[in-house]
Amino acid sequence: MDGLNIRRRMAEERWSALMSGAESVFFVGAATCGMAAGAEAVIDRLERDIARYGLNARVIRAGCLGPCCFEPIMIVRRQGLPECCYGPVDADAAGSILERHVMGGELCPEWSLGVMTAEGYGDIPSFWDHPMMRGQVRRVLVNCGVIDPEDPDHYLARGGYLGLERALGMTPEAVIEEVLASGLRGRGGAGFPTGKKWQFARAAEGSPKYLICNADEGDPGAFMNRSLLEGDPHAVLEGMLIAGYAIGASEGYIYCRAEYPLAIRRLERAIEQMRELGVLGERILGTDFSFDLHIKQGAGAFVCGEETALIASIEGLRGMPRPKPPFPAQRGLWGKPTVIQNVETLGNLPHILRNGAAWFAEVGTPQSRGTKTFALAGKVARTGLIEVPLGTPLRQIVMEIGGGMVSGKAPKAVQTGGPSGGCIPAEKFDLPVDYESLGAAGSIMGSGGMIVLDEDSCMVDIARYFLTFTQQESCGKCVPCRIGTRAMLQLLENISKGQGRPEDLRQLEEIAETVKMGSLCGLGQTAPNPVLTTLRYFRNEYEEHIEKSQCAAFACRKLVWYRIDPDRCKGCGVCLRVCPAEAIEGEKGEPHRIIDEKCIHCGTCVTACPPSSAAIYRESGDLKRIEARRQLASTVS
Amino acid sequence: MSENSSAEGAAVVQEIVAAFPSGRGSLIPILQEIQRRQGYISPEALKALERLTGISATEAYGVATFYTQFRFTRPGRHKIQVCNGTACHVRGGAQVLEELERRLGISVGQTTPDGQFSLERVACLGCCALSPVVAVDGKVYAGMTPKKVPGVLREYAAQATQSARQEK
Ligand SMILES: Cc1cc2nc3c(=O)[nH]c(=O)nc-3n(C[C@H](O)[C@H](O)[C@H](O)COP(=O)(O)O)c2cc1C
Ligand code: SF4
Ligand code: SF4
Ligand code: FES
Ligand code: FES
């Protein structure tokens, strides 16, 4: 292991020069989110200005720091000042910060999110005390956003591959014991104890054995795995080595969705670097352990996140699940014992091996140990990637870390677990986020997607949305899954069009049971969850749709009617011109009118009506009722 | 396809097949590479694949149709992907898609008659924190609204006329 130790000493020197040297450093968040928010323009400007002023400074493209809603984000390091995190910054702000912070030697409070030290600095508080960061515990994400993910020295200098070194000094059985003792459970959805899965695979007959990293991240609305792969690829790969050693595998596959090109590029680079470091290939670090890695790109099928379907896909077949047992740990890829782990599960392993099982178990609950990352999105004010101890109450995540609703309205529910999960209502926000509590509430932990919904979200629409997804993604092998999801979707569509019948709710529940019981794989078994939880907690909304043709959130399009307020309408005719259905009539200068029979409920007119008039409003409900209500109101007044 | 370009296409497939280890496990990576280079999986490509690997065209087609990534018609010059993930859905992604359909005069899954734009709906681009999201040729536009649609399209329409001019 001497080679690696020499390299680590060099890496540490380079890192400490970076952290305290005369050269200034801009760490710009350049993960997918950062790029979407405009990081490239920031980087261009910084590089131009560095050249123009001839500064001793450079720009590093870092990964996701977490508070994505403040992107583009950058951390600036300059000798004599504490590191400071700024965001959101555009090119001009970056130029000013370069002049003031780096050249002028002063911090810029107007863009600051906080200094990176534990204590504040003057008037500027610590970044870690920012309401979005307080309450988070960064373990898996410890390197994300603060290192150059393409520079292996950064990873090494911060303790990288120490976990592997320790593991290789132990017997595989002892490594499994350590992971068992830590209480680590799979982060990909089901929460199966990782150590136990390894025991099965280690004991299984057959060789070679395979290890697969599940980076398919199929939950549409989740990006934890993407962020980790982009921000700290070596951590996941080190985890793969540790797992591979423990189960006796000699080959590993990373099954990554093709929609993540940056993650794939970072993985490819990291794999090359591992070979240079001597931690991949034959006789790793001079031991008897040999291991090699391949990347496979997913081809866009949600069901391929399921273990047996994923294996079929790597084998070049249609990605259809098969019955278990035999479990992949017994007969998996090419018929050999195979362990499949989620990206985040693997990302935890280097820390467990480096710091020990007891350290890992310090946070979390007795049943759900450690931390979990969540992709916080939807209607919350602060969206991004967070990491909290398991057992953290939902309220803290939504209201404190997430800062409540962006609209200022009341929260309605949180959707966890994506298409396999459910909606937890605001009344239950005291619920601790752990595997058992979420399960008892009818949802699942899932891989970490967390979509917050407010009063403007319709629960029938959410259920319909997920069923549309699962119905499309069902591989079609099982009749209950194929036909049942379609039947449920049909009922939900009827309800969302105001054509539902009171008995539909019963029928939805009945079909849901059949689909749950009669499906082969997790997709079918969990597909009814979004419907069942919304029926359980928001039945009144379904009833409103059925009985009154009303969608209070104005989300079910066919139930929304558009109205022009004659007192506000100036007759400018803008709406009339944009309406794709020619459903608006009126003379120039006179109040306009919408013809309900022609209107296709697209809402274009609302956005088109000039803000000075803002004459178009929405109503929902049965037209006859709306009319009756209006007449009642006019007789009263 | 003219005879000439179909021969060229077959040569590309041959090159791709040669770059992968033989065996069934390479089928999907090969199809992915064909699509990356040629934009879609053409019947000619499947035939060439059959000749080179022995995997029948019907079999390969059966595998390819299982996965949403593969397309079987020639795509437009610019690929517009509209995110239909949960975060984008709850923040109004559907309205953005409708506006795109209206402006381009095509439905999702189609290509404009001039071959400039094709429109796809995808599940999550991994930028959920900045939803709703649209990607054009891989460049991600965050926080989209129906109002921002014309501006985004103009960027590419301008490019298109420019390159047309250059070609002349
Ligand atoms: C339909 C379906 C989709 C799934 N998608 C994923 C996924 O995208 N990522 C993932 O890690 N696990 C996914 N899983 C769970 C995996 O099958 C498997 O349990 C997991 O990868 C095991 O790793 P873990 O124990 O580390 O969580 C999915 C399961 C089903 C049934
Ligand atoms: S439950 Fe659905 S997705 Fe799973 S194997 Fe059966 S049909 Fe396919
Ligand atoms: S909602 Fe659409 S169809 Fe209806 S009046 Fe307005 S613009 Fe016309
Ligand atoms: S992607 Fe940059 S903070 Fe999340
Ligand atoms: S839901 Fe649209 S980017 Fe994730």
Last residue of a domain, one of A457, A474, A502: A457
Taking the C-alpha atoms of residue A192 and residue A213, their distance in angstroms, rounded to an integer, is: 15
- What count of other Cβ atoms lies within 10 Å of the Cβ of residue B122? 19
Of the pLDDT bands very low, low, confident and very high (cuts 50, 70, 90), residue B24 is: very high
Q: Does B22 touch chain A (CB under 8 A)?
A: no
Of the pLDDT bands very low, low, confident and very high (cuts 50, 70, 90), residue B162 is: low
Of the pLDDT bands very low, low, confident and very high (cuts 50, 70, 90), residue B2 is: very low
Q: Token match 């795109």: residue?
A: B100
Task: Note whether residue A380 is domain-resident.
Answer: yes
When the pLDDT of each residue in chain A is averaged and rounded to a whole number, the result is 95
Please indicate, yes or no, whether residues A438 and A479 belong to a single structural domain of this protein: no
The average pLDDT across A102-131 equals 96
- What count of other Cβ atoms lies within 10 Å of the Cβ of residue A173? 12
For residue range A333-370, list pLDDT tens digits in order: 999 999 999 999 999 999 999 999 999 999 999 999 99
Q: Does B129 touch chain A (CB under 8 A)?
A: yes
Please indicate, yes or no, whether residues A231 and A356 belong to a single structural domain of this protein: yes
For residue range A503-536, list pLDDT tens digits in order: 999 999 999 999 999 999 999 999 999 999 999 9
ipTM: 0.88
Please indicate, yes or no, whether residues A453 and A472 belong to a single structural domain of this protein: no
Taking the C-alpha atoms of residue A243 and residue A252, their distance in angstroms, rounded to an integer, is: 10
Please indicate, yes or no, whether residues A528 and A604 belong to a single structural domain of this protein: no
Task: Note whether residue A317 is domain-resident.
Answer: yes
Nearest CA in chain A to B24: A316
Task: Note whether residue A1 is domain-resident.
Answer: no
Q: Does B124 touch chain A (CB under 8 A)?
A: yes
**Structure-block tokens of residue A390:** 């398991």
The average pLDDT across A101-120 equals 96
Q: Work out the minimum CA distance from B152 to partner chain A, whole angstroms.
A: 13
Whether residue B158 is predicted with pLDDT greater than 80 in this model: the reply is: no
CA of residue A406 to ligand 5 center, whole Å = 17
Please give the pLDDT value at position B8: 81
Please indicate, yes or no, whether residues A300 and A212 belong to a single structural domain of this protein: yes
Task: Note whether residue A561 is domain-resident.
Answer: yes
Whether residue A603 is predicted with pLDDT greater than 90 in this model: the reply is: no
When the pLDDT of each residue in chain B is averaged and rounded to a whole number, the result is 89
Please give the pLDDT value at position B164: 53
Task: Note whether residue A439 is domain-resident.
Answer: yes
- Residue B23's region, left for phi above 0, alpha for psi from -120 to 50, else beta, is left
Query: Residues, chain B, total?
Result: 168
Taking the C-alpha atoms of residue A516 and residue A482, their distance in angstroms, rounded to an integer, is: 12
Domain that holds residue A510: 460-548
Provide, as residue numbers in chain A, all residues whose Cβ is less than 8 Å from the Cβ of B128. Answer: 221-223, 375, 377, 383, 449
**Cβ burial A189-200 (10 Å sphere, 16+ → b, else e):** bbbeebbebbbe
**Domain count of the fold of chain A:** 5
Q: Is the CB of A528 under 6 A from ligand 2?
A: no
User: Closest ligand 5 atom to the C-alpha of B84?
Assistant: 2
- Which helix (DSSP H) or strand (DSSP E) does residue A411 occupy? strand A411-416
Q: How far is CA A35 from CA A31, A42, A43, A111, A291, in A?
A: 6, 10, 10, 19, 34
Taking the C-alpha atoms of residue B133 and residue B96, their distance in angstroms, rounded to an integer, is: 9
Backbone angles phi, psi at A457, to 5 degrees: -100, 135
Taking the C-alpha atoms of residue B84 and residue A626, their distance in angstroms, rounded to an integer, is: 33
Q: Is A84 helix (H, G, I), strand (E, B) or coil?
A: strand
More confident residue, B158 or A270: A270
Please indicate, yes or no, whether residues A482 and A515 belong to a single structural domain of this protein: yes
**CB-defined site of ligand 1, < 6 Å:** A 186-190, 192, 214, 216-218, 302-303, 305-307, 340-342, 345, 447, 521-523
Amino acid code (one letter) for A213: C
Please indicate, yes or no, whether residues A43 and A97 belong to a single structural domain of this protein: yes
Please give the pLDDT value at position B168: 42
Going by DSSP bridges, is the β-strand pair A84-86/A74-77 parallel, antiparallel, or unpaired? antiparallel
Please give the pLDDT value at position B167: 47
Look up the CATH number of the domain holding residue A310.
3.40.50.11540
Residue from A185, A297, A304, A307 whose mutation best tests the ligand 1 pocket (most atoms within 8 A of CB): A307
Closest by CA to B70, choosing from B108, B29, B116, B13, is B29
Taking the C-alpha atoms of residue A297 and residue B30, their distance in angstroms, rounded to an integer, is: 11
Whether residue B1 is predicted with pLDDT greater than 90 in this model: the reply is: no
Please indicate, yes or no, whether residues A313 and A386 belong to a single structural domain of this protein: no
Task: Note whether residue A217 is domain-resident.
Answer: yes
Look up the CATH number of the domain holding residue A524.
1.20.1440.230
Ligand in nearest proximity to the CA of A449:
5
What's the CATH fold of domain B78-167?
A: Glutaredoxin (3.40.30)
For residue range A412-443, list pLDDT tens digits in order: 999 999 999 999 999 999 999 999 999 999 99
The average pLDDT across A452-469 equals 96
Please give the pLDDT value at position A637: 61
Q: How many H-runs (helices) and E-runs (strands) does chain A carry?
A: 25, 18
**Structure-block tokens of residue A39:** 């990081």
Residue from A140, A187, A342, A475 whose mutation best tests the ligand 1 pocket (most atoms within 8 A of CB): A342
